[in-house]
Amino acid sequence: MIRIAIVLGSTRPGRLGQSVCDWVASRAAERGDATFEVLDVADFRLPILDEPLPPSFGRYSHPHTKAWSEAVDGFDGYIFVTGEYNHSIPGALKNALDYLYREWNNKAAGFVSYGSSGGIRAVEHLRGVAGELQMADVRAQVALPFATEFENYRTLIPTAAAEKTLQILFNQVIAWAGALKVLRPDQSRGNEPGIAA
């Protein structure tokens, strides 16, 4: 069974991302073609990147890095839930992505974003980061503008169009996650050519 993580990228108190993540997770639970699990970046309390070696070496010094690596590693794909902060993604999400490398490689990535413009500019940046981490990002994107998808700019009430697009996103992420499995025959650390054990 394909395993997909729903990655909640905002760590702010009172974050709107929690309700967005809950919506994505509730719709994901209705499907029978993959299993889904929420990974909340806030739960890992990662400091600003503090590993002495580049993540591509896969040799981690700190318990928080090892815990994050173990949490991320077992999935076949990811759906990132992100707000838009100053035309980009939350710093906590960028930091969490930067901690790892091999764990992201050859896996599918989809995006659910929210913000004044639906978070589309944040996802533009996030697609570039995902590409460098060797994730295959799917075309479908759920963009949730505050003015149309949130009552009083606070309470998420997804439109029918958002609901439909989310299902398309699921379909694409699951399909790509399955197709990319052939590129990950051995995911054990240190067995990838060119990576120091």
What is the CATH classification number for the domain harbouring 145? 3.40.50.360
Per the domain annotation, does 179 fall within a domain?
yes
* Stated length of the chain: 197
User: Would 167 be classed as within a structural domain?
Assistant: yes
Q: Is residue 192 part of a domain?
A: no
Whether residue 190 is contained in a domain is answered as no
Domain-embedded: residue 32: yes
Domain contains 126 = yes
Q: What is the DSSP string of 60-76?
A: --SHHHHHHHHHHHT-S
Count structural domains, the chain. 1
| Mean pLDDT (10-residue bins), the chain, 197 residues | 98 96 98 98 98 97 98 98 97 98 98 97 98 98 97 97 98 98 69 38
Asked whether residue 24 is domain-assigned, the answer is: yes
In a domain, 65, yes or no: yes
pTM value is: 0.93
Domain range for 18 is 3-183
